[in-house]
């Protein structure tokens, strides 16, 4: 995983247990049959690189790790590392491995907004929206928590989302329609669930 616009680190998972000199090795990285990076017998060469990777990659030959600079959402996917050894003049593949790159972009803190005007009256319907923007990947859901006295109810209505055609970042919104509580202070919060490994983001509570 890598954050958007940061450096992604892709490992070749090569131990080099034979302590082979890098001058006898050819290392290249591929994605969808495009050449991402190439180290040709100790020298980095750029002749065969796909244009989108030129000046964006560096290979750490001590750690056998490729650095992909300024990672973008379009960089997501499977990368293959291939290592060839020059043996009696003809190169022979001695190692291949694959790794999968996922990009993360932070969502803004969810924000609750009123969707109606005028005075609130008990037992009327209260229309609210919860929005968050500029994140990636698409989140799982938005949950609303309505707390009064010692009880909390949760609602998970439909989540609307849009994706920017250029940046590929998501904006998400959820709408809540509940009756106005009578004579009971109430707190309403919305929670954006990003997935098991990414956790969740919580709005500032709205007090009624």
Instruction: Give every CB contact of residue 77 below 8 A, 6+ residues apart in sequence.
Output: 31, 32, 100, 101
Domains and CATH numbers, the chain: 2-104 (2.60.40.10), 111-207 (2.60.40.10)
Quick: pLDDT tens for 143-173: 999 998 888 889 998 999 999 999 999 999 9
Closest C-alpha to 64, from 106, 113, 11: 11
pLDDT of 189 over the 80 cut: yes
The per-residue pLDDT for 195 is 85
- CA angle, residues 65, 169, 67, in degrees to nearest 5: 10
Greatest CA separation found in the chain?
88
Quick: pLDDT tens for 18-76: 788 888 888 999 999 899 999 888 888 888 888 889 899 999 888 999 999 999 999 99
The per-residue pLDDT for 124 is 78
pTM of the prediction?
Answer: 0.80
Instruction: Give every CB contact of residue 128 below 8 A, 6+ residues apart in sequence.
Output: 112, 113, 114, 115, 144, 175, 176, 177, 178, 188, 206
User: How crowded is the C-beta side of 129, counted as CA atoms within 13 Å?
Assistant: 12
DSSP 120-181: --TTSEEEEEEEEEEEBS--SEEEEEEEETTEEEEE---EEEEE-TTT--EEEEEEEEEEPP
User: pLDDT exceeding 70 applies to what percent of the chain?
Assistant: 99
The per-residue pLDDT for 141 is 93
The per-residue pLDDT for 9 is 96
Quick: pLDDT tens for 103-140: 999 999 999 998 877 777 766 788 899 999 999 999 99
Backbone angles phi, psi at 69, to 5 degrees: -80, 150
- CA angle, residues 143, 180, 110, in degrees to nearest 5: 30
Residue carrying the six token digits 């909390």: 152
């Amino acid at each position: 995983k890598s954050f958007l616009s940061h450096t992604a680190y892709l490992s070749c998972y090569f131990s080099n247990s034979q302590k082979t000199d890098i001058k006898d090795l050819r290392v290249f990285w591929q994605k969808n049959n495009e050449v991402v990076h190439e180290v040709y017998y100790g020298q980095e060469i750029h002749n065969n690189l796909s244009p989108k990777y030129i000046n964006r990659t560096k290979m750490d030959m001590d750690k056998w790790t490729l650095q992909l600079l300024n990672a973008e959402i379009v960089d997501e996917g499977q990368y293959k590392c291939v290592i060839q050894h020059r043996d009696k003049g003809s190169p022979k593949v001695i190692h291949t491995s694959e790794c999968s790159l996922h990009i993360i972009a932070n969502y803004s803190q969810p924000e609750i907004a009123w969707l109606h005007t005028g005075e609130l009256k008990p037992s009327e319907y209260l229309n609210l929206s919860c929005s968050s923007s500029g994140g990636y990947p698409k989140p799982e859901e938005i949950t609303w928590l309505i707390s009064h006295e010692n009880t909390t109810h949760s609602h998970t209505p439909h989540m609307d989302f849009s994706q920017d055609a250029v940046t590929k970042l998501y904006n998400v919104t959820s709408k809540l329609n509940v009756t106005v509580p009578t004579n009971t202070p109430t707190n309403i919060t919305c929670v954006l669930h990003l997935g098991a490994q990414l956790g969740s983001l919580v709005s500032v509570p709205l007090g009624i």
